[in-house]
Amino acid sequence: MNKIDLKNIKEYLNKEITVKGFVDTVRDLQYVQFLIIRDNTSKLQITIEKNEENTKLNEIVSSLSLESTIEAKGTLLESPAVKLNGVEFIPTQIIVTSKCNGELPINYKNPQSSQLDTKLDYRFLDLRHAKNNLMFKVQTTFVNAMREFLLEKEFIEIHTPKLIGAASESGADVFEISYFDNKAYLSQSPQFYKQMAMASGFEKIFEVGPVFRAEKSFTNRHTTEFTGFDIEFSYIDSYEDVMKLEEELLIYALTKVKEKYGDEIQTLFKKDIIIPQKSFPVIKLEDLYNELEKRYKYKIPNEEKTDLTTEAEKLSYKFSMEEYGSEFLFVTDYKPEKRPFYHMRKNGMPQGYDLIWKGVEITTGAQREHRYDVLKEQAEEKGLDKDVEFYLDFFKYGCPPHGGFGIGVDRVTMLLLGMSTIKESMFLFRGPNRLTP
Ligand code: ATP
């Protein structure tokens, strides 16, 4: 690659080089022109004196529209008076590689000036904002760190199909599509195939891939397509082994993000990345409701206490900070009617958890039921045994005890950077009313 990243520009002092980027600002003064270009890494000042020798360059700059892309050949000089890195670039040639035609439909530099929907319509411009740019560098580092952590432990990365023949799990919230002369569905979770890998003796696997949910949710944290980071591993003793792995994984990934981007996140998002300590606090759902009632007078009907309501999730953040000084809280002992049939149960109690970060669920994890007869019975109880016959087969011929969890990448990005909605923490949001761009 022969493009020089502007953040490394100082390596090229006094050398003849070519620089490339978007035109960020132009100041066309009486005796001099200042042009700031921007790439994905930094900005650079290009200085052109107005004189006869520079007539051609001066003309190009005078007619340059902001947000065009250019290439400039010239020399980089040290110039302590220049605010941008103390250097300026003196060009001998400027080529406009792409002209920005007219005014931008949104002023992406001032996000407050446009409605969210308009920003989403012009997401390709919205993403030019330095914050958005940083967001995806942070997400890359976060996801990559998780991958690194797992590869170190010799997990295998798998890629499961997203086109499936039977509605998985419950059938209620999958997208149906036509598939030649038949119907197919978009996968709402890699759950069954992750477990198939356990039956195949893979022992430790993960997958990063799209997840589809046909839910008409209009919250700040639901989308109809998101990226799931899913993990499954064998020979566990209980779901506590699953929680322990998740804890270590998150501590590792957050540490990597903080090391690499902590300062920039502080500057642009005014957020501190807090590295959690082992072990994250754990509380039973019922005990949590009792605490919320005792401390904050939060009251809901008993029949709703089988699951954590959105409001209770939010309050649990307050509780967790007050009681444990922790942004993370594991909640266990959900009632079986609110948990999938494949969660193992002990004395009727599902052996799983939700992980709440800053008052929002980011994960469901569990020990899975690996005993064929029990699993079949639990599927029947939910009226699913016919739909999941192919899945039940995985457990007929030996399958080790196992468990796992799934993290919503876009939701985590939202929470990590303190964004107010998932619509702005995904590359492109998909919702009940949005399928474009
Ligand atoms: P919720 O209760 O928030 O709707 P869920 O219980 O349906 O979530 P799971 O099926 O357990 O979630 O999915 C695992 C993780 O995937 C969640 O903890 C969350 O981080 C993420 N997730 C789930 N549904 C969505 C969605 N519609 N949009 C974005 N992320 C989601």
Tokens of 262: 């902590």
Q: Whose CA is nearest to atom 2 of ligand 1?
A: 361
Distances in whole angstroms, Cα of residue 407 to Cα of each of 150, 159, 241, 290, 361: 14, 16, 16, 27, 9
Side chain identity at residue 344, one-letter code: M
Closest ligand 1 atom to the C-alpha of 223?
28
Task: Report how far ligand 1's centroid is from the alpha carbon of 209 (Å).
Answer: 14
Residues of the chain scoring pLDDT < 50 = none
Q: Whose CA is nearest to atom 26 of ligand 1?
A: 222
Q: According to the model, what pLDDT value does residue 62 have?
A: 97
Q: Whose CA is nearest to atom 11 of ligand 1?
A: 364
Q: According to the model, what pLDDT value does residue 175 have?
A: 95
Q: According to the model, what pLDDT value does residue 171 have?
A: 54
What pTM was computed for the model?
Answer: 0.96
Residue range 240-279, pLDDT digits in tens: 999 999 999 999 999 999 999 999 999 999 999 999 999 9
Closest ligand 1 atom to the C-alpha of 224?
27
Q: According to the model, what pLDDT value does residue 173 have?
A: 87
Task: Report how far ligand 1's centroid is from the alpha carbon of 368 (Å).
Answer: 18
Task: Report how far ligand 1's centroid is from the alpha carbon of 286 (Å).
Answer: 21
* Residues 6 or more apart in contact with residue 385 via CB below 8 angstroms: 376, 379, 392
Q: According to the model, what pLDDT value does residue 384 have?
A: 86
Q: According to the model, what pLDDT value does residue 274 have?
A: 97
Q: How many CB atoms lie within 10 A of CB 116?
A: 14
Pocket flag, ligand 1, residue 222 (CB < 6 Å)? yes
Alpha carbons within 13 angstroms on the beta-carbon side of residue 69 total 8
Pocket flag, ligand 1, residue 150 (CB < 6 Å)? no
Task: Report how far ligand 1's centroid is from the alpha carbon of 362 (Å).
Answer: 7
Q: According to the model, what pLDDT value does residue 317 have?
A: 98
Pocket flag, ligand 1, residue 426 (CB < 6 Å)? no
Task: Report how far ligand 1's centroid is from the alpha carbon of 189 (Å).
Answer: 10
169 phi-psi bin (left φ>0, alpha ψ -120 to 50, beta other) = left
Distance (Å, whole) CA 430 – CA 217: 11
Distance (Å, whole) CA 31 – CA 25: 17
Burial class (CB in 10 A: 0-12, 13-18, 19+), 375: buried
Task: Report how far ligand 1's centroid is from the alpha carbon of 308 (Å).
Answer: 13
Task: Report how far ligand 1's centroid is from the alpha carbon of 408 (Å).
Answer: 6
Pocket flag, ligand 1, residue 363 (CB < 6 Å)? yes
